Structure 1
Amino acid sequence: MPTVLIVEDDIVFRKQLLEVFDHGNGFDAFAEAGNGVEALDKTKCLSPNLAILDLSLPDVGGIQLAQELMEITPGLRVFMLTADYSMKTEKNALSCGITAVFSKLDDLATVVANARAVCGIE
């Protein structure tokens, strides 16, 4: 089963993401991080299949972090979440290899459904 790393500095939103992914959605293991340094450490240990990243973290930009994580774990799928969604942000993220970009205002069930699809969970 796929493993997921959730990187979000807002602890309340991070817990919401963990909760929605943990409800029988076909994912095996979860790790969470509140910043880029923690995310890099957890990626080295866990080798996740999917990382869900906040675009704006306290210590690093989400796109830069995504590129570093994808370098550590080839084949890693990355979803970017942002409170300031724009087509420009999405285009920039996708051009850097990020799999999908979502607004934090999107229904989290949509994020989970897309995660299941990219991880091959039926």
Structure 2
Amino acid sequence: MIRVLLADDEAVIRAGVRAILATDPGIEVVAEAGDGHEAVELAHRHRPDVVLLDIRMPRLDGLGAAEELRRTLPEAAVVVLTTFSEDAYVERALGSGVSGFLLKSGDPRELLAGVRAVAEGAAFLSPAVARRVIDMLGGERFARAAEARSRLAPLTGREREVVALVGAGLSNQEIAERLHVVEATVKAHVSAVLGRIGLRNRVRLAILAYEAGLVPDA
């Protein structure tokens, strides 16, 4: 069972997200919070597997809560719920160690897939958010695509396969099953790639995979 903490200052949004999560018998919402401070307190009390955080909340915003949780409760995967009007927040979130970005108004299937993916150690980007992040990071898109392909050029064919699957939101176990290798091999590939191209986390690697065109429909 995947235990989820949901934090949003709008009760209607919480109710909608909770209703979507309730359609999956393998996911349980163990607590809800209306602001960032409450989210941090409840996360330490309930020890969820995944924390879904709205960006804009009173007292402590979602990114402040994400940073605090990454520091004090690193075993919990943090996913940011965003809208297209919050680009500046998304840029800050990239440096806060979140495991994923989901669009509030996105496909409910993406919400379920995202929660499952980050619970299993993957990074997950809603495709619409990924495209927005790529555009937001600046520079002409074709130039950024060329730069991304250049950064990935030194990788082996197998490493590029792993990067593409990270971008698609697969966990290490799922990648191992897809490539018919053991999970430890996938972990070694991911760690080696992150170190070689100078990235801090899987979310950054997923964005690079999108930029390079390794993920379908990017």
TM-score by length of 1: 0.86
Match of 1:105 in 2: 105
Match of 1:75 in 2: 75
More strand by share: 1
Residue 105 of structure 1 and its aligned partner are, at CA, apart by 2.1
Q: Does the CA-based 8 Å contact 2:36-2:64 persist in structure 1?
A: no
Q: Does the CA-based 8 Å contact 1:94-1:100 persist in structure 2?
A: no
Deviations 1:33-59, CA, capped at 9 Å, x for gaps: 111222122111111110000100011
Q: Does the CA-based 8 Å contact 2:35-2:61 persist in structure 1?
A: no
In 2, the alpha carbon distance for the partners of 1:40 and 1:118 equals 18
Larger RCO, structures 1/2 (Cα 8 Å, 6+ apart): 1
Greater Cα radius of gyration, structure 1 or 2: 2
Q: Does the CA-based 8 Å contact 1:8-1:54 persist in structure 2?
A: yes
Query: In structure 2, do the counterparts of structure 1 residues 15 and 31 end up closer, same or farther at CA, with 3 Å as the change threshold?
Result: same
Instruction: Give the secondary structure class of the aligned counterpart of 2:23.
Output: coil
In 2, the alpha carbon distance for the partners of 1:103 and 1:18 equals 15
Query: Once superposed, which parts of structure 1, at least 4 consecutive aligned residues long, lie more than 4 Å away?
Result: none
Runs of 5+ in structure 1 lacking a partner? none
Match of 1:17 in 2: 17
Instruction: Give the secondary structure class of the aligned counterpart of 1:48.
Output: coil
Match of 1:114 in 2: 114
In 2, the alpha carbon distance for the partners of 1:97 and 1:60 equals 17
More helix by share: 2
In 1, the alpha carbon distance for the partners of 2:94 and 2:26 equals 25
Match of 1:90 in 2: 90
In 2, the alpha carbon distance for the partners of 1:89 and 1:29 equals 25
TM-score by length of 2: 0.51
RMSD of Structure 2 on Structure 1 (CA): 2.0
